[in-house]
Structure 1
Amino acid sequence: MYVVGILNRAGINNSFLYSQLDATVRKLNITRFAEGKTNILIVTDVAARGVDIPLLDTVINLHFPPKAKLFVHRVGRVARAGRSGTAISLIAADEQPYLIDLFLFLGKPMRFAQDGDKYDSK
């Protein structure tokens, strides 16, 4: 995984999950993250559904998901039980239609923060 390699070369401790990873190693990496032994967990869409990671407060989408429901499942990992959370998405030009689809799916107007502005989703 590209991001894992970059973080490792920078000396940043991380854990990772992907579909071909052995289930035992997957559980070990989730445990390491949950216990605070690593504070970054890199995942593919294997963790978009069915993986509960307590106290997760931020999700960063390196590639914007092509389906609105997949986005909802990805960012649904944060801010459980009434807590607040942050979702950051890096969006390539060819992924912009996915963003428009998401806002149509959610029935919300699109709002953009300017550099330095704090975005409030309310």
Structure 2
Amino acid sequence: MSRAFSTARQNLARWLGYNKELLPPVFKDAAERYVENGAVQKVGKVDSIEILHRNDGSSPVHQSHFNRLDKAMIISARISPADGSRPRTHHIYADGTGTFKKGDKREYSTSSEQGA
């Protein structure tokens, strides 16, 4: 029952940019999980998710350029809230967690500052 509900909610958001079906399976699953959990908790209902990538067709999996101390592999996604507020770029990790600002904890919730 919960799977049907989460799938229905996920299908309401538009996926843009790099085709999520072409992501490595671990990152495809992570992106879907983050949009269903972390992103909703951080920004509310999601209108669209744009997986950011280079125009050369290469994989969007990379290390953060924003937080060079973080050596984990990520994908970057511009998430647009349904309430019309400004889209923000989120870093999504292979485990389905994500952040949207430096110092944001890698988790599903909105606990914002590390060490807080």
Q: TM-score range by the shorter chain?
A: under 0.3
- Provide TM-score, normalisation by structure 2: 0.25
Higher share in helix: 1
Higher relative contact order (CA 8 A, sep 6+): 2
Whose radius of gyration is greater, 1 or 2? Answer: 1
Higher share in strand: 2
